């Protein structure tokens, strides 16, 4: 199967430390580090200890990775650095910003690649079937092959050996006397086997048997009788290098001397603890210390008391004595609490070891079985306590008094309980291993050179001869030691397989060991499950995906992993299940384990049904009789069943069966594609005689295994004293007796097999091989052929349909290349109200909600959320499985359209026909593949029709550019007024009702969903704020021209409408829309090739005067009219004024005024009862008495209009000078005379007066400041000049940043920079700009249009522009910041670029996460979601695109 390059993306965020997060990757993967929102724009450096090509791994050696920016653009959305992962192990990464070395980091784990056989065939991790052998039970090395052959013949592919080293006196498998010496028991008399012989054996097993061998490494302790520890006692925790253990040692010796058959708390207190007086180790000799203190005072060696007379000195000494006595009391209390804990632990241990029914029941107290296990070694002859007290005073003797190892219940696994600060030994909390000494490494090799060198050699021997290691006692091994030793091992064997069993009780703590050590698999045990339901849950948890999972893209986010499991029937250090459960449990339980999608395994003896711990293993003999002593074969125990299950386990992993479904059929039966009884004793438990049929979608190819555990006539079990022997009276019967099955078509045309069970007895297992029925197989093959045009992955399993519909013979990218951007708007987007306008609606999932769009984006937004999580239980997936409604919606919606869209609809209809004939559980997966492939093709078609800025842009640029398609479309009713019939390239269509041709120009929606249809779709101000970003920068020049000319046709009184109302219900109640329109004409001429031609384009005037008919004028005439009207002065009353056009506005508000101050050149207008700018909230509440009152009238000269008018006048002046505009001035009639004002003069007046009247100086005596008493923010620019309420002029708002962008020449650089710094500090939010200074008395950052109360400032959303954070001004602020930063020098520019990138990254994050795939109109304070905002707004997207263009 083609897989392709796998790439994972890890997002870096400031201060994000992921050391407890497990990230697993495979060799051959590429890991990319991308900057998250908190880091974009910063100077980030990423470091890793993953070695550079050709270099060796050194854990402490880090290198810095280089950044790659594929788009070559300034924004950081695509910037990444990468690692090509080719070497197994654990690797660390960290990152910092600027001079900060580390501000975040984590680990990655790269899995090893295991190989077997002469051909070095790969053994996938999920294929592993391991069997554990206690090495000491194998006998001489020459006999091992006969005993190990049992594992080979029963289908295992890995053998785990307990340590092969020389064992200590206890003969415990993990008490190693010499880590470098092979166990002499493995050498027969007269022969001395070596590690080379062991290596030859493991290599033979690997190449000839196709099996790997792993063994334990024990780093934490050594046997108490190890000779080398006698020569190097510094390698343990002794009373010389760890003197803090002396109290614990004294207690340990006292307990040894204490001899009593009956344990009484009172005796422990009186005979042990009170005699030892251990509290004295913590206390001070008061009298002696006081005398020393007195001498110091008398000698004047410290700060003396006020008087140095005897009386003063005595007072000081008395005070000192009192303090010491108080301190001693506290020390006594502390030691007393340790005593109490110690007594409780001792009593608990004695009760368990001698009295408890589930304990070892050691019997009487003897020297062999003392009252409690000793915590320290004592390699001396017996002596009295007094003599022993003298012993610890001699370092040469005390260094041999070494602390034993063990474990502490509930302790922090990352804490070394033998280090200072721990009282585990004193409090007797250690579950002690009396045969082992805890090793004392220190923090680095120099702290204990012999020990580090000795264990390094031990590790090298192990890695040389074994393919993997099991870390014994991993959770108690110092992490830095295990890291070092595994690094050594990987130098010898790079693909080292590392397994461990950790008992942390926390997945987070487990991950610390996994990530730091590069552990490949964590050991899990089926015996930990209390019943079949819990064991089934473990199978699901430890690996595999849900059945019908989505196909994941090759490039996707790196998500945290759960630890890869080695799931065992039973571990070798636990009781045999037969002892605690039932013999009938063995086969079903191992069948469940075998079906886990992870490594699996068992312990030798389980398959033979051995009911006790082993002595020496039996050999393989295929011809042996069941009664043969010392020999086993497939007739023994459950071996025949285990062989079949092991083969099945390996086959499923090799063939990519990664999806798992676990079903609890009833209380006693689990189906994991097979049946399994629970863990109950069949002799006493009542099983159901009749089991309901089981239904499997698909066709049963074969019954792989029908096995059951049966009792046979044989002698009762007798334990053999020489060999391990299983229970001969039980065996596995393999035959075809349990079930019959038949197939039929379900109501959903799905082929289903019904399985009827007969004679299904306890201890039974059935395994089926199931495939799709032949017809479904063919249909899936045909479908994959179609999908292969999107992804080569689908080439595998594809088939050619001889009857393929003709439409499917055409590539989808060809069909979509025929779509216009307006048609792509229909294909990809259109919200619910847009769909309703056409008589439809967005697809609604009854048990959930409607999708955001009727087009493909609506489906993709949901799928992108559920695909990474494989959330197949999502209502979206349920809907797909339950019926064909969704797929019918997708195709029929497009089929109802005309032209090229209908052809795309036909393609969907044809390909969905295949989808209707595959099993329902596969429908979500393949629906996702179709939709995502079609969506990607459509998006490519979009970008192919856009500008080079978009085509070569970053991911953020492209996603924002999709906003152009999202917002620009053609509805059922034309939104724009008709263009001149003389104009070329105007799109037309046939009206479905009149059957006449009509123009169908693209219009720009203000926002979705609220401003998307009807008269509320197009707004003059919104359109022209958004037009440059969404249409000109994206290359949609013709459509931009049409919109400019359409609005030109609606000019009336020198204004263009705010609300277009399809041209016939226009509202001319704004002063700024015409200036934004003029700015867009200027932008058009600056961006579009041959752009000045637009000035000659005919404009069909709808209202040249109040009563005239429509006629054509060139655009330049209309432009001149706008300028002349303003200089002359505009005063009129809106047509049809009254509640019929606005039920909130007061009568005075319908009077519109806009003029030019002849002294300053500033455009001014508006009144306190109407809103002339974008901050146009009109009061609506009768309760609050604000109806008809504008919240922000901004009358006078609004600062952004001053900037926009300056930009227009300057441009027209330049155009005239260049011969592109015929007018050099405006002519007006005033006081009965005709006057002329040149554009040059007008431009000069604005330039000279702007800062004089708009800048708020630091100097309170500035002669230009008319209202110094109203100033509350200095060094800013006023929001307006000449407002009817003068204090409104001085409010800090973000509007002057607009003027900075369109007319930067008006601003002094230093003043502009200071003002921008104040805006950044006071107004910039996470996503948008606060619309009012939070220090203002009427500031309110939460917009609630539904709230109606008596609060004048809040009711009915009166604070719409009094604090809520709007997004579109952010673009202008950032552009202004960049412009003036360049003037301020490189340092300021670099700082500004960081700010811009950081803001862009937050917007990018929102864009990525939003199901609307847009940027909202506004947010509440501090970026909080506002439910009354448009979810995606045209100007929000457009101004951010403009910022990226400036970058």
- Residues belonging to the active site: 472, 475, 573
Three-point CA angle 615, 616, 619, nearest 5°: 150
Phi, psi of 1291 (to 5 degrees): -70, 135
What gap in Å lies between CA 31 and CA 1149, rounded to an integer? 62
What gap in Å lies between CA 868 and CA 862, rounded to an integer? 11
Question: Between the CA of residue 320 and those of 297, 326, 332, 767, 1027, what are the distances in Å?
Answer: 12, 10, 18, 82, 84
Are 1282 and 1319 in contact by the 8 Å Cβ rule? The answer is no
User: DSSP readout, 28-67?
Assistant: T-EEEEEE-TTTTTS-EEEEE-SPPTTPPP-TT--EEPPP
Three-point CA angle 1190, 1195, 1201, nearest 5°: 120
Are 749 and 687 in contact by the 8 Å Cβ rule? The answer is no
What gap in Å lies between CA 871 and CA 583, rounded to an integer? 39
User: DSSP readout, 517-549?
Assistant: HT--EEEEEGGG-SSHHHHHHHHHHTS-B-TTP
Nearest to 1316 by CA among 1374, 1257, 1368: 1374
Are 1275 and 1311 in contact by the 8 Å Cβ rule? The answer is yes
Terminal alpha carbon distance of the chain = 44
Burial of 1115 (0-12, 13-18, 19+ CB in 10 A): buried
Are 1305 and 1279 in contact by the 8 Å Cβ rule? The answer is no
Residues in the chain: 1447
CA count, 13 A, side-chain hemisphere, 710: 13
Question: Between the CA of residue 882 and those of 407, 773, 887, 909, 931, what are the distances in Å?
Answer: 54, 20, 12, 18, 18
Phi, psi of 1165 (to 5 degrees): 170, -170
Three-point CA angle 517, 518, 521, nearest 5°: 110
What gap in Å lies between CA 320 and CA 1159, rounded to an integer? 87
Largest alpha-carbon pair distance within the chain? Answer: 134
Q: Residue ranges of the alpha helices (H) in 598-727?
A: 639-654
Are 554 and 642 in contact by the 8 Å Cβ rule? The answer is no
Q: Is the dihedral of CA 399, 400, 405, 408 positive or negative?
A: negative
DSSP 353: I
Spatial neighbors of 1330 by CB under 8 A, at least 6 apart, are 1294, 1322, 1323, 1324, 1339, 1341, 1363, 1364, 1365, 1421
H or E stretch including 180?
Answer: strand 176-182
Report helix, strand or coil for 661: coil
H or E stretch including 854?
Answer: none
What gap in Å lies between CA 1202 and CA 1240, rounded to an integer? 16
Nearest to 525 by CA among 581, 577, 474, 579: 577
Q: Is the dihedral of CA 219, 221, 226, 230 positive or negative?
A: positive
């Amino acid at each position: 199967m083609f897989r392709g390059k796998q790439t994972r993306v890890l997002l870096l965020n400031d201060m994000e430390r992921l050391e407890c997060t497990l990230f697993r990757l495979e060799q051959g993967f590429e890991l990319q580090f991308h900057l998250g929102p908190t880091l974009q724009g910063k100077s980030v450096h990423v470091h890793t200890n993953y070695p550079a090509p050709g270099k060796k791994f050194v854990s402490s050696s880090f290198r810095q990775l280089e950044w790659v920016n594929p788009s070559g653009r300034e924004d950081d959305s695509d910037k990444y650095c990468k690692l090509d992962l080719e070497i197994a192990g654990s690797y660390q990464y960290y990152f910092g910003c600027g001079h900060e070395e580390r501000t975040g980091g984590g680990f990655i784990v790269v899995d090893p690649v295991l190989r077997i056989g002469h051909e070095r065939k790969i053994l996938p991790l999920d294929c592993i079937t391991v069997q554990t052998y206690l090495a000491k039970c194998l006998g001489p090395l020459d006999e091992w092959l006969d005993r190990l052959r049992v594992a080979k013949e029963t289908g295992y592919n890995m053998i785990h050996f307990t340590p092969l080293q020389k064992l200590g006196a206890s003969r415990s498998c993990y008490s190693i006397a010499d880590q470098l010496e092979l166990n002499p028991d493995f050498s027969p008399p007269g022969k001395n086997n070596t590690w080379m012989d062991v290596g030859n054996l493991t290599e033979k097993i690997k190449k000839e048997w196709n099996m790997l061998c792993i063994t334990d490494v024990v780093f934490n302790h050594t046997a108490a009788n190890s000779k080398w520890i006698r020569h190097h006692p510094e390698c343990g925790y002794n009373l010389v290098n760890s003197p803090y253990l002396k109290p614990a040692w004294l207690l340990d010796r006292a307990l040894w001397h204490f001899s009593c058959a009956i344990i009484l708390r009172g005796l422990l207190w009186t005979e042990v603890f009170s005699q030892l007086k251990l509290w004295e180790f913590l206390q001070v000799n008061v009298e002696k210390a006081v005398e020393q203190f007195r001498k110091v005072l008398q000698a004047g060696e410290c700060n003396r008391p006020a008087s140095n007379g005897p009386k003063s000195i005595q007072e000081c000494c008395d005070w000192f004595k009192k303090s010491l006595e108080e301190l001693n009391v506290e020390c006594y209390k502390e030691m007393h609490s340790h005593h109490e804990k110690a007594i409780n632990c001792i009593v608990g241990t004695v009760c368990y070891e001698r009295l408890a029914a589930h304990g070892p029941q050691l019997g009487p107290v003897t020297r062999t079985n003392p009252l409690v296990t000793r915590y320290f070694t004592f390699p001396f002859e017996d002596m009295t306590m007094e003599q022993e007290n003298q012993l610890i005073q001699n370092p040469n003797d005390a260094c041999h008094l070494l602390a034993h190892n063990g474990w502490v219940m509930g302790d922090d696994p990352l804490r070394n309980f033998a280090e200072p600060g721990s009282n585990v030994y004193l409090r007797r909390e250690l579950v002690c291993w009396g045969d082992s000494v805890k090793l004392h490494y220190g923090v680095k090799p120099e702290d204990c050179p012999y020990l580090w060198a000795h264990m390094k050699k031990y590790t090298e021997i192990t890695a040389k001869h074994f393919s993997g290691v099991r870390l014994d006692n991993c959770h108690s091994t110092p992490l830095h030691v295990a890291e070092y030793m595994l690094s050594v091992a990987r130098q010898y064997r790079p693909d080292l397989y590392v397994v461990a069993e950790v008992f942390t009780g926390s997945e987070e703590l487990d991950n610390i060991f996994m990530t730091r050590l590069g552990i490949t698999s964590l050991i899990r045990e089926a015996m930990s499950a209390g019943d079949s339901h819990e064991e089934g849950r473990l199978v699901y948890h430890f690996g595999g995906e849900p059945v019908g999972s989505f196909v994941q893209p090759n490039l996707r986010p790196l998500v945290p992993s759960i630890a890869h499991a080695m799931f065992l029937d039973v571990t070798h250090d636990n009781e045999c299940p037969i002892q605690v459960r039932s013999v009938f449990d063995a086969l079903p339980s191992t069948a469940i384990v075998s079906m886990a999608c992870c490594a699996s395994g068992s312990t030798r003896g389980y398959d033979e049904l051995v009911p006790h711990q082993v002595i020496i293993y039996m050999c393989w003999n295929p011809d042996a009789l069941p009664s043969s002593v010392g020999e086993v074969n497939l007739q023994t125990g459950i071996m025949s069943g285990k062989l079949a299950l092991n083969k099945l386990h390996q086959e499923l992993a090799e063939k990519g069966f990664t999806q798992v479904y676990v079903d609890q059929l009833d209380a006693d039966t689990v189906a994991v594609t097979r049946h399994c009884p629970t863990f109950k004793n069949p002799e006493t438990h009542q099983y159901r005689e009749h089991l309901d049929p089981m239904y499997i979608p698909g066709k049963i190819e074969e019954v792989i295994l029908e096995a059951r555990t049966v009792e046979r006539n044989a002698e009762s079990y007798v334990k053999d004293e020489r060999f391990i022997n299983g229970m001969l009276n039980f065996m596995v019967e393999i035959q075809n007796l349990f079930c019959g099955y038949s197939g039929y078509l379900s109501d959903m045309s799905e082929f289903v097999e019904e399985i009827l069970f007969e004679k299904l007895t306890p201890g039974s297992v059935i395994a089926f091989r199931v495939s799709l029925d032949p017809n479904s197989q063919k249909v899936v093959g045909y479908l994959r052929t179609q999908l292969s045009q999107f992804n080569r992955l689908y080439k595998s399993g594809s088939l050619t349909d001889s009857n393929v519909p003709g439409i499917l013979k055409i590539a989808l990218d060809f069909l979509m290349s025929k779509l216009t951007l307006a048609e792509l708007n229909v294909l990809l987007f259109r919200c619910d109200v847009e769909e309703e306008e056409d008589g439809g609606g967005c697809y609604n999932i009854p048990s959930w909600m409607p999708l955001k769009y009727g087009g493909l984006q609506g489906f993709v937004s949901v799928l992108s959320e559920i695909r990474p999580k494989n959330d197949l239980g999502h209502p979206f997936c349920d809907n797909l499985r339950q019926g064909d409604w969704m797929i019918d919606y997708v195709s029929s919606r497009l089929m109802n359209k005309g032209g090229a869209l209908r052809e795309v609809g036909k393609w969907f209809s044809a390909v969905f026909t295949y989808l209707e004939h595959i099993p329902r559980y596969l429908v979500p997966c393949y629906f996702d593949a179709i939709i995502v492939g079609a969506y990607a093709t459509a998006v490519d078609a979009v970008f192919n029709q856009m500008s080079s800025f978009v085509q070569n842009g970053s991911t953020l640029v492209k996603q924002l550019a999709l906003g152009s398609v999202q917002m620009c479309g053609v509805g059922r009713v034309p939104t724009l007024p008709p263009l001149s019939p003389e104009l070329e390239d105007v799109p037309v269509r046939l009206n479905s009702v009149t059957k006449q041709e009509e123009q169908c120009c693209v219009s720009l929606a203000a926002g979705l969903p609220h401003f998307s249809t009807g008269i509320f779709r197009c707004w003059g101000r919104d359109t022209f704020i958004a037009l440059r970003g969404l249409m000109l920068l994206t290359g949609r020049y013709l459509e931009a021209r049409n919109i400019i000319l359409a609005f030109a046709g609606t000019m009336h009184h020198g204004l263009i409408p705010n609300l277009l109302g399809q041209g016939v219900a226009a509202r001319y109640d704004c002063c700024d829309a015409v200036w934004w329109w003029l700015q867009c004409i200027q932008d058009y001429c600056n961006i579009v090739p041959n752009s000045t031609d637009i000035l000659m384009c005919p404009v069909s005037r709808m209202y040249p005067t109040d009563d005239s008919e429509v006629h054509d004028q060139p655009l330049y005439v209309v432009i001149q009219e706008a300028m002349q009207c303003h200089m002359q002065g505009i005063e009129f009353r809106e047509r049809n004024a009254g509640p019929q056009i606005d039920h909130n506005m007061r009568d005075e508000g319908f009077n519109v005024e806009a003029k030019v101050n002849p002294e300053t050149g500033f455009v001014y207008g508006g009144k306190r009862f109407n809103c002339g700018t974008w901050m146009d909230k009109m009061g609506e509440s009768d309760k609050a008495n604000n109806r008809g009152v504008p919240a922000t009238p901004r009358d006078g000269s609004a600062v952004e209009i001053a900037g926009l008018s300056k930009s227009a006048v300057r441009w027209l002046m330049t155009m005239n000078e260049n011969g592109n505009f015929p007018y050099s001035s405006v002519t007006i009639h005033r006081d009965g005379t005709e006057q002329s004002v040149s554009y040059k003069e007008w431009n000069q007046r604005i330039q000279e007066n702007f800062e004089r009247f708009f800048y708020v100086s630091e100097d309170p005596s500035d002669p230009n400041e008319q209202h110094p008493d109203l100033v509350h923010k200095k060094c800013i620019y006023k929001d307006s000049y000449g407002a009817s309420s003068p204090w409104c002029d001085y409010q800090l708002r973000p509007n002057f940043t607009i003027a900075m962008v369109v007319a930067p020449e008006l601003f002094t650089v230093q003043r502009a920079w200071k003002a921008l710094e104040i805006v950044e500090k006071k107004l910039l939010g996470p996503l948008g700009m606060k619309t009012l200074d939070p220090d203002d008395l009427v500031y309110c950052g939460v917009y609630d249009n539904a709230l109606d109360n008596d609060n004048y400032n809040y009711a009915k959303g009166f604070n719409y522009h009094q604090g809520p954070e709007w997004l579109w001004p952010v673009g202008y602020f950032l552009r202004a910041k960049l412009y003036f930063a360049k003037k301020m020098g490189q340092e300021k520019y670099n700082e500004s670029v960081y700010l811009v990138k950081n803001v862009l990254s937050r917007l990018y994050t929102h864009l990525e996460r939003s199901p609307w795939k847009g940027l909202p109109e506004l947010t509440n304070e501090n970026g909080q979601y506002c439910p009354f905002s448009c979810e995606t707004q045209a100007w929000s997207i457009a101004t951010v695109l403009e910022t990226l263009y400036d970058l």
